[in-house]
A and B are shown apart, each in its own frame.
Chain A
Amino acid sequence: MSGAVKASLSRRLRSGIRALPILTALVTMVACGSESGPSAGKAGAGDAGRSAVRIVMVTHGQTSDPFWSVVANGVADAGRELGVRVEYQAPSSFDMVRMSQLIDAAVASRPSALAVSIPDPSATARSIKAAIAAGIPALSLNAGDEAWERLGLLGHIGQTEYEAGRAAGERLAVHGAKRVLCVNHEVGNTSLDTRCRGLRDGLAKRGAAMLVLGINLADPEDATQRIKNALGRDAAVDGMLTLGPGGAAPALTALRESGHLGRIAIGTFDLTPEVLAAVRDGRLLFAIDQQPYLQGYLAVVLLTKYLETKAIPGGGQLIRTGPSFVTRETAADVIALAKRGIR
C-alpha cells in the first residue's frame, strides 16, 4: 500500500529468504541424524557483490510496540538509499539479558558499525564496551542520553528525556492538572524513569504532584484495568501522561469506560495514527514527538558517513530529534505520514 510498509515487508522477506536455507537444512539434518553430510555449507553465500558496509542496530523495542516499526522503517530506508546492508535486531519483550546477548552476537559478527539503544546502562554497558574495544564504531539512539558519553560512544540520537517530561508537565499544569499519573509501560527503562522525573519537576513549578503507575504492554486488557483501578483509588487524579502509544490506547479506553473522558487532561509520548486521531479530536491534549523515523535513519546515515570520512556532527554529541509537540492544530497534517510508518 505505502512505500514504508512495503520497505518493511521486503526487509522481512529478504531476511526470511536468507533464513530459509538454514531452516530447511536444520530440520533435515536433525531429522536424518548423522547420515547427512556437511554439504549444505554452500547455502546462504549469496551476499557477495553487495556493498561491504554492514550496519547492525540492536534496540530494546518490544515487538508489540508500533514505535519501533517506525525506527526500523527509517533504518531500512537509509540502508536502501545509501546502498549499505542494514540489520535490525530486538528482543521480543523488554528483556535486558536477551538484549545484551544480541549485542554480543552482533559484535561477534564484526559489523562495519553498530547502533544500540541503552535503556538500562548497568545491564548492557559491558556488551557495549566490548564492541568499542573490538574497534567497532558505535553510537546510541532513542534511550541512553545520559550514558552514551560515559560508555565512549560516537554520539547519541534522540530526545533529552528529562526536558521532554518537564515540558509535558508544564503543559499539563497550565491546563490546570493538579495530580498527574505517569503511566510507565516499560518499568526498568531508565529513560522512562527520567521522563517521569521531568514530569514531576515540570508539575512542581505550579504546585502539582506526580504519581507513577506501571503497566504491562503485552496485555492491554490488564493495562486498562490497572489504569481504571488507579483512577478509582484516587479520585483527585485529574491528569495523565502515558509514556508511549502502547500506554495511550488503554488509558483512553480506561477513561472512556470509567466516564472520566474529558475530565482528565491526558497527553502522551510518541505518535501512532490512533494517537494522532485522538489529538485531532481533542481526546488527547498533545503527543510528544521524538521523531523515531529520524532516529533510525540518521543512525545509519551518520555511521555510514563516519566510516567514509571519520566525521561526526559536533565532533560527537547529542543530536536532538525531539521533543516537539503535536497538538490539535497540527495533528491532521501528521496523520497521513504516520499511516505510512514514517512519523
Chain B
Amino acid sequence: MKLLVRPEASAAAGALLIWLLFAAIAGPPFRSLEGAAAALNAAAPLGILAVAVALLMIAGEFDLSVGSIIGAAGMSVMLLTRHFDWSLWPAIALTVLLCAAIGFGNGYLVVRTGLPSFIVTLGSLFVFRGLTIAVSRQLTQRTQLGGLDEVAGYRAAQTLLGGDLVGPFQVSILWWIGLAALATWVLLRTRFGNWIFATGGAPEAARKLGVPVARVKIVLFILTALAACLVAVIQAVRFAGADALRGEQQEFRAIIAVVIGGTLLTGGYGSAVGAVLGALIFGTVQQGIVITGVDADWFQVFLGSLLVAAVLVNNFVRSRVAGTR
C-alpha cells in the first residue's frame, strides 16, 4: 500500500510493461546492448530536462521556454567559438551564465507580475527562439553552424559531455542519473525539498510558515534553464555543431515525461524518479517503434495516448492518496 502511493509507482509499472512489450515484439535486437543504448541515449537528454522540470512542476509552475533555451544555448556556444574564436570552455561558461540569466528572468517575471508561468514562459519560448534565429542570421548569414570539433578544448568536452561511456552507451546517461539522484536527495532529504512541496501544495500556508516561496520558484526556473543549457552543450559537443531550431517541442516532451512520471499538473505532488521513468518510457517507445520496424510516424500517436492514459492513472492515484491520508 505504501508503495502504491509513491508518485512514480504507476510509471515504474508502465516502464517495465512497455519494456516487456517491446522485448516480446521486437525480439533480440531490442534486448541487445545496442537496443538498450539506443533507448537510453535518446532518453538521457530528455531525462535531464524532465528532472529539472519535475521540480518546477512540483512547485506548481511550468517552463515552456526550455526548448528554445536549448536552441539559444547551442547557438551561443557555436557563435562564441566559431564566429568570435573563443575556445570551448569559456564559451560554455558564458553560455551557462546566459541560461541562468534567462531562467532568473522567467522566474522574476512570474513572481513579480503574478501572471501564470504558462503565459510568461510561452512568451519567452518565442522570444528566445526568434532571437536565436535572428542573431545567428545577422552575424553569420546561417542558422546552422558546425566544426566545433576543431575548437580548442573539444577533446575534454567530448569525454565529459558528448562522448561514449562504455560501448554504445553515451556519457549523457551518467549526467541524467546523477542529476536525478541529486534532485531526489534534495526533494526528500533537505529543507529546500520541503519548501518545493510546500510551494506547490499550499503556497499561502507555506508563505505564512516562512517559506520563501518567491525565492524557491526563481531558483527552480534557473535550474530548468540550466538543465536546458546542459542538454544544448551535450548535443552541440556530440554533433560538433548546433542549429537554431534544435530543442523544438522539447518543452512539451519534458512536461509529458514528468506527467507520465506521476507528477500532478497542479503541483505539490510528484518525484524526480518519476520524471526519470517518464523519460525512460519516452526513449523506449521512441526507439522501440523503429526497432520493431514500424514507421516512426506512429510515435506521436503512442505519445499522445500515453499522456492521456498516464493522467487517468495519476487522477486515480491521487484519489487513493487522498483516501489513505
| Residue A321 CB within 8 A of the other chain | no
Which residues of chain B are within 8 angstroms of A23 by Cβ–Cβ distance?
298, 301-302, 305
Q: With A188-B243, A214-B137 in contact, is A18–B293 under 8 Å at CB?
A: yes
A38 touching B17 in the complex, CB below 8 Å, given contacts A27-B305, A31-B309, A188-B144: yes
A29 interfacial contact with B, CB 8 Å: yes
Chain B CB within 10 Å, residue with most, of A25, A92, A109: A109
Count B-side interface residues using an 8 Å CB cutoff: 64
Given contacts A30-B306, A101-B287, contact A108 B21 (CB under 8 A): no
Are B309 and A96 closer than 8 Å at their CB atoms?
A: no
Pick from B241, B294, B296: contact of A91, CB under 8 Å? B296
A25 pairs with B240, CB closer than 8 A:
no
**Chain B, residue nearest A16 (CB):** B298
- For residue B159, CB closer than 8 A to chain A, the reply is no
Nearest-neighbor residue (CB-CB) of A24 within chain B: B305
Given A93-B248, A214-B142, the answer on whether A38 and B10 have CB atoms closer than 8 Å is: no
Residues of A contacting B153 in the complex (Cβ-Cβ under 8 angstroms): none
B21 contact from A15, A41, A134, A187, Cβ within 8 A: A41
Indicate if A212 sits at the interface (CB-CB under 8 A).
yes
A residues 31-83 in Cβ contact with B at 8 Å:
31, 33-34, 36, 38, 40-45, 47, 54, 56, 63
Q: How far, in angstroms, from A123 to B144 measured CA to CA in the complex?
A: 12
**Chain B proximity of A153: nearest CB distance (Å):** 19
A307 near B: Cβ within 8 Å?
Answer: no
Mask, A92-136, CB within 8 Å of B = 1, is 111111001110111111100000000010110010001000100
Closest to A122 in B: B240
How far is the CB of B71 from the nearest CB of chain A, in Å?
Answer: 11
**B25 and A110 form a contact (CB under 8 A):** no
Please measure, in the bound complex, the distance between the C-alpha atom of A212 and the C-alpha atom of B143, giving whole angstroms: 12
| Bitwise interface map of B from 285 to 321 toward A, beta carbon under 8 Å scored 1, else 0 | 1111111111111100110011001101100100000
CA distance A60 to B310 in the complex (A): 32
Instruction: Report if B141 contacts A (CB, 8 A).
Output: yes
Given A40-B21, A109-B26, A122-B239, A19 contacting B38 (CB threshold 8 A): no
B1-36 CB mask vs A (1 if < 8 Å, else 0) is 000000001100110011011101110111010110
Residues on A with beta carbons closer than 8 Å to the beta carbon of B10: 30, 33-34
Chain A residue at smallest Cβ distance from B243: A188
Task: State how many angstroms separate the Cβ of B89 from the closest Cβ of chain A.
Answer: 20
Task: Evaluate contact between A15 and B294: CB separation under 8 angstroms.
Answer: yes
Judged by a CB distance under 8 angstroms, whether B123 is at the interface is no
The answer, yes or no, to whether B90 is at the interface (CB within 8 Å) is: no
Does B34 contact A96, Cβ atoms closer than 8 Å?
no
Q: How many residues of A contact B (CB 8 A)?
A: 60
- Interface contact A34-B21, CB-CB below 8 Å: no
Q: In the complex, what's the smallest C-beta–C-beta distance from A18 to chain B, in angstroms?
A: 5
A321 to B172 CA separation, bound complex (whole angstroms): 40
**Is residue B147 contacting chain A, with contact meaning CB distance below 8 A?**
yes
Given A97-B246, A187-B144, A88:B34 Cβ within 8 A: no
Are A43 and B18 interface neighbours, CB within 8 A? no
Q: Which residues of B contact A122 (CB under 8 A)?
A: 146-147, 149, 239-241
Residue from the list A34, A85, A106, A110 in contact with B290, Cβ < 8 A? A106
Closest beta carbon of chain A to B286's beta carbon, Å: 7
Interface 0/1 of B231-264, CB less than 8 Å to A: 0000100111101011010000000000000000
Known contacts A122-B240, A188-B243; A109/B21 CB under 8 A: no
Instruction: Decide yes or no whether B116 CB sits under 8 A from chain A.
Output: no
Cα distance, A108 to B39, chains bound together (Å): 10
Task: Return the contact of B37 from the options A22, A29, A63, A108 (Cβ within 8 A).
Answer: A108
A101 pairs with B38, CB closer than 8 A: yes
The secondary-structure label for the interface of chain B is helix
- The answer for the CA separation of A240 and B298 in the assembled complex, in Å, is 38
Q: How far is the CA of A260 from the CA of B41 in the complex (A)?
A: 50
Q: Is A327 an interface residue (CB 8 A)?
A: no
**B237 shortest CB reach to chain A, Å:** 11
Question: In the bound complex, do residue B296 and residue A89 qualify as a contact, i.e. CB atoms below 8 Å apart?
Answer: yes
* Closest chain B CB from A29 CB (angstroms): 5
B102 within 8 A of A: no
A88 touches B295 (CB 8 A): yes
Q: How far apart are the CA atoms of A265 and B10 in the complex, in Å?
A: 62
Chain B residues within an 8 Å CB radius of A88: 295
Q: Contact: A100 with B34, CB < 8 Å? A: no
Residue B51 is within 8 A (CB to CB) of chain A in the complex: no
Asked if residues A22 and B32 are in contact (CB atoms below 8 Å), the reply is no
- Inter-chain CA distance A104–B30, complex, in Å, is 12
Residues from chain A with Cβ under 8 Å of B285 in the complex: 26
A96 / chain B contacts, CB cutoff of 8 Å: 239, 243
Inter-chain contact A108/B32, CB cutoff 8 Å: yes
CB distance from A306 to the nearest CB of B (A): 21
Question: How close is B8's CB to chain A, nearest CB, in angstroms?
Answer: 12
Known: A31-B313, A122-B239, A214-B137. A15 touches B291 (CB 8 A): no
> How distant is A238 from chain B, measured CB to nearest CB, in Å?
21
Question: Which residues of B sit under 8 angstroms from A54, Cβ to Cβ?
Answer: 293
Contacts of B42 in A (CB 8 A): 101, 104-105
Q: Is the CB of B298 within 8 A of A15?
A: yes
Residue contact B292 to A44, C-beta cutoff 8 Å: yes
Interface residue? A271 (CB, 8 A): no
Known: A26-B306, A89-B296. A19 touches B301 (CB 8 A): yes
Find out whether the CB atom of A41 lies under 8 angstroms from the CB atom of B245.
no
Contact status B295-A105, CB under 8 Å: no
Cα–Cα, bound, A18→B297 (Å): 13
Q: List 9 A-B contacts (CB under 8 A).
A: A15-B295, A19-B295, A87-B295, A88-B295, A97-B235, A101-B42, A105-B291, A108-B37, A134-B34
Given A12-B295, A25-B21, A101-B41; 17 other pairs, CB 8 A cutoff: A12-B297, A19-B301, A26-B305, A30-B17, A31-B313, A33-B313, A43-B25, A89-B290, A108-B30, A108-B35, A108-B37, A108-B38, A110-B29, A120-B239, A123-B146, A214-B141, A214-B142
